[in-house]
Chains A and B, each alone.
Chain A
Amino acid sequence: MAIENMGLGKAINEGLRRALAEDPKVLLIGEDIGTLGGVFRVTEGLKDQFGGDRVIDSPLAESGIVGSAIGLAMRGYRPVCEIQFDGFIYPAFDQITSQLAKITNRHEGNMSFPVVIRVPYGGHIGAVEHHQESNEAYFAHTPGLRIVSPSNPHDAYWMIQEAIASNDPVMFFEPKSRYWPKGDVDTAHNSTPLHSSRTIRPGTDVTLLGHGAMVSVLLQTAELAAEEGTSVEVIDLRSISPIDYAPILESVRKTGRLVIAQEAPGNLSLGSEIAATVAERAFYSLSAPVLRVSGFDVPFPPAKLETLFLPDADRILDAVDRVLSY
């Protein structure tokens, strides 16, 4: 057994370290990731260990980071880009959606683009504008990208390595508020494939679904619901594109009720897509409409209002009560 206790940020650091050590074609590129070790210290120590040609402090330009990573992939490298914060990704939007996402298709299979884009995302950290967004849906709408988000250190350790091993572009959304809480990481065994959802708490009355930092809120909600006599099943989505519907549909067929929680604004969101698909595929199993508990359809608010903006256990419990009252 190789169980180590660490935060999600450290787990990604260890996953990157292992990927760098195992494959000389893996390299990291981003702003402040070398000497400083990243603004969240996720790449701390890696430049010392692997050198400045494999852990590259790039000029301050996001499109340049992703665009040059595409060229590096053409050369046979497996670049891992770091975007410093969620809200800073948009200068790279063209290179991600018009180039990286479409370029495998453009090459008709004669070239692969194993580029990983790490994105620290989401709220709960009391930061200024552009530092707390959940913008995964923009990218999930784009064919050609794969998108994942771990919720805990063990998954983060393995998922980053699987993302790097993928022959397709993978956007790796890291719930930055979960960088520090520690959890057990089994560095010897990985049981869940990258694009699999996972039921992490069994229950019979209502299914709760979410990803990233929402998962810990869902588990907290489930505890509170249990005190009220409601048995809640919790699913950690893990993969945002493609979505692994089998565990979701299986759970809904059992509970008949689904509540989806997400930090992103609800309009045209990941939750919207999942609700529609569940309605299409499990209509006769549903005892209530699928409900979404989302961020409001406003820009992420100033930090002093973020606890009102972000779904918390009370708002999710309210939705649980509503699906039970149908």
Chain B
Amino acid sequence: MANTTHDPMVQLLAPDGSLAPSERAEEFLPYFQQLTDENIKRFFRDMSVIRRFDTEATNLQRQGQLALWIPSHGQEGAQVGSAHAVRPQDHIFPAYREHAVAMIRGVDVFDIIRLVRGLTHGGWNPNDPKFRNFHLYTLVIGSQSLHATGYAMGIKFDGAYATGNYETDQAVIVYFGDGATSQGDVHEAMVFAASQQTPQVFFVQNNHWAISVPVSVQARVPLYRRADGYGMPGVQIDGNDVFASYAVTAKLMDDARQGKGPAMVEAHTYRIGAHTSSDDPTKYREDSEVESWVARDPIVRLEAFLRDKGVDQAFFDEVAQEGADFSSDIRRRIVAVENPDPAAMFAHVYSDPHPLMEEQAAWLATYEAAFPTEEPEPAAASDGGDA
């Protein structure tokens, strides 16, 4: 990739945990300075709990409880910082790896587990106030970017932004990865956003790999510079710095809510694990590269910062216990969950009554009812041989 080292990056928290804002960070510092000690401890807790959950989910997949897992390990800084920068009235359109954002918005992450176990294609109701406008995961790469732009157009047409009311003005944030930036839909979403000057932030988690393809195949210049071509600000951040993620997202979302139009964030982070449980990253990347990113881990970095500030061991013990409890709760619930009712297949294909749905649901019910209730099989011969 050309000239990355010359491109200014927003960083507040250095990999060793020291507070050392880069030159580019200056305009975003007031947002960082608003954070209380409790806010920062909350960042640490959220990052730690979601990583523990991620490990648990990976194990559950290996044990056959999940069809698939989508690890978020390594990207917690980008996700937790940005998620806390979004206000309750804003809307969030995730891709499918934003487990930390989901949890912070109040989604029960067990609903994500239900999705990857094969129980649902959705999981939660984005209109339910307790999930604070966290929309459903979208698995086709980049498709959600247009939904986000359309939603932001709706906010504009409703006049629900730029009124000066911090409590009610709304904006949209949409998450996607470096691979998605090659998709036509992401391009069209940015064109439409610029055309309509929508209140919206495009948040790119550049984790450097689109499954096996490095970001250098997607782009010859840093992704954030594409924003200029659409006529919107683009900001490059250290995505493993939770403070940078928070401060930059908070400012750009504020700008969007105030009617200053769309913007783009490129968060440099790294997918420490596999793309999904079906992937084998040892086939395409070097251990040394992974190790260099492990050394920039967002959680280790914040822990060093907190310890330097004098936060005691009891806090870290408490967070570790919370992560363990959170994960064992997921494990406990998964074994109790039941498969969906077959009629659910037909129930929501359409909102209004539809003759084919009624006909086919009735046929399936009749067909299934025609089979005798299953009796337990007699125990098989233990040697498995011919009688």
Contact = CB atoms under 8 A, between A and B. Distances in A.
Interface in B309-350: 344, 347-350
Contact of B192 (A54, A64, A74, A242): A64
Contacts of B127: 110-111
A108 B120 contact: yes
Contacts of A109: 347-348, 351
Given A74-B151, A75-B155, A102-B121, A63 B350 contact: no
18 contacts: A63-B188, A67-B143, A67-B145, A67-B147, A68-B150, A70-B150, A75-B151, A94-B143, A98-B140, A104-B348, A104-B349, A107-B126, A107-B136, A110-B128, A111-B127, A143-B349, A144-B349, A167-B352
Interface string B121-154: 1100111100000011010100101111111111
Interface in B177-201: 184-185, 188-189, 191-192, 195
A107 B348 contact: yes
Interface string B53-92: 0000000000000000000000000000000000000000
Given A67-B146, A71-B153, A107 B349 contact: no
B284 to A, nearest CB: 27
B381 interface: no
Interface of A: 27, 53-54, 58-59, 61, 63-64, 66-77, 79, 91, 94-95, 98-99, 102, 104-114, 143-144, 146, 166-168, 242
A242 to B, nearest CB: 5
A53 B157 contact: yes
B287 interface: no
Given A63-B188, A67-B185, A74-B126, 20 more contacts: A53-B157, A61-B188, A64-B188, A67-B189, A68-B192, A70-B147, A70-B150, A71-B154, A74-B135, A75-B154, A94-B140, A94-B143, A95-B143, A99-B138, A99-B147, A105-B121, A106-B121, A106-B136, A108-B344, A143-B349
Nearest to A61: B188
A107 B189 CA distance: 22
Interface residues of B, number: 43
A168 B147 CA distance: 17
B383 interface: no
A108 B153 CA distance: 25
Contacts of B158: 75
A107 B350 contact: no
B148 A71 contact: yes
Nearest to B155: A75
B152 A110 contact: no
A70 B143 CA distance: 11
Given A105-B349, A109-B351, A74 B150 contact: yes
Nearest to A66: B146
A309 to B, nearest CB: 31
Contacts of B387: none
Contact of B350 (A77, A79, A95, A104): A104
Max chain A Cβ within 10 angstroms of own Cβ: one of B145, B189, B349 = B349
Contact of A91 (B184, B195, B351, B352): B184
A94 B146 CA distance: 12
B354 interface: yes
Nearest to A73: B150
A261 to B, nearest CB: 24
Nearest to B172: A71
B356 interface: yes
Contacts of A61: 184, 188, 191-192
B125 A67 contact: no
Nearest to A109: B348
A105 B352 contact: no
